[in-house]
Structure 1
Amino acid sequence: MAGDSLLQQRLSLYSIPLVWLTAFLPGTFKTTLIMRHTQAFNNVTPRRNISRAVAEKSLPPDISAKILRLEGAHMNGNENLPIWFAAIIVGNMARLDNYTLNMLSLSYICGRMLYNYIYYQQQTELQGALRSTVFFICFAMPIYILLQSIPLIAAQRY
């Protein structure tokens, strides 16, 4: 099948900008909400936009909560970029199977998108637990790649 041969190609490196995008988009949506619902947006001191926005008395509490959740998703995405980037680079250096790296890359991207969606929508402890479960499933993927790659790289002679 054509899809199988595509997944045998070295495509996992393309996951690096796509995973970056999953971290970037919640921040963009947060900024859009701030600009749409408040007068708090200030590009001179952009890191204070959230505190200014949620302090506005006219901001509906549900919008304030969404802004804070989007910021949380954005920060979590940024915190997870280094381990994903390292795993993909090391996995490719170790010459792990392309199919495996590609499937893990697709799974990780989809998992991070699901994580962001749940984070944005969550309102209950159960939904928060679901978000955490998705996080740990996703986090296991770069760890798996690293654990498979390290012995292969360590065995290489230079």
Structure 2
Amino acid sequence: MSNTPLLMLPAATAVAYAPHFIRGFIVIYYTKKWNNISPRGQLEKVESRMTKAGWAMAKRAEGAHTNGIETLPVFFGAVLAALHAGVAKDTVSFYSTFFVASRVVYNIVYILNTNQLSALARTGIWTAGMVACFKLFLAAAATKY
């Protein structure tokens, strides 16, 4: 599909925000409440009403969300630079789809992470996604437009 790279932009956004909602569901599961007046500070306020494991999972979901937001500008820039420079759409489609897929796996591994091995896997997955972005930047830089 020729519009795949552009479709990956909202897909990446959705994947970046998914852990935010997962965190909310975890909090609601353990506390049966949600404070929408001050949602950013809610996790610290409810720690004593959650199990240690539940709170830790919610904290990891929050971390996955923050990391997703931090990587979005790099991804958007890479895709838009590649498209603007005229990089082959198949190439941009491959790397943009790879990035989004890596972020889905990253979120799962991050949220479920409970040991050093899965933490190392998370870092490897993050690295693979960022390499895809840099491949797009390099491909854009290599074109003559």
Which TM bucket (shorter chain)?
over 0.9
TM-score (norm 2): 0.94
TM-score (norm 1): 0.86
User: Moved runs in structure 1, 4+ residues, more than 2 A?
Assistant: none
**Shift, 1:151, TM fit:** 4.2
Which secondary structure state, in structure 1, belongs to the residue aligned with residue 34 of structure 2? coil
Q: Where do residues 144-155 of structure 1 align in structure 2 (5 Å cutoff)?
A: 144-152=135-143, 155=144
**Shift, 1:144, TM fit:** 1.1
Q: Where do residues 1-158 of structure 1 align in structure 2 (5 Å cutoff)?
A: 6=1, 9-38=2-31, 41-54=34-47, 56=48, 58-152=49-143, 155-156=144-145
**Shift, 1:16, TM fit:** 0.4
Question: 1:39, 1:51 → 2: CA distance?
Answer: 16
Number of aligned residue pairs: give it.
Answer: 145
Aligned partner of 1:12: which letter?
A: P
Question: 1:71, 1:128 → 2: CA distance?
Answer: 15
Residue 48 to residue 40, structure 1, CA distance change in 2 (3 Å): farther
Question: 1:99, 1:20 → 2: CA distance?
Answer: 21
Question: 1:11, 1:39 → 2: CA distance?
Answer: 40
Which secondary structure state, in structure 2, belongs to the residue aligned with residue 103 of structure 1? helix
Tell me which moved more, 40-49 or 58-67: 40-49
CA RMSD of aligned residues (A): 1.4
How far does the alpha carbon of each residue in 1:10-50 deviate from its partner, in whole angstroms, 9 at most, with x for none?
Answer: 42011000000111000001011112212663211111011
Unaligned segments of structure 2, at least 5 residues: none
Aligned partner of 1:78: which letter?
A: I
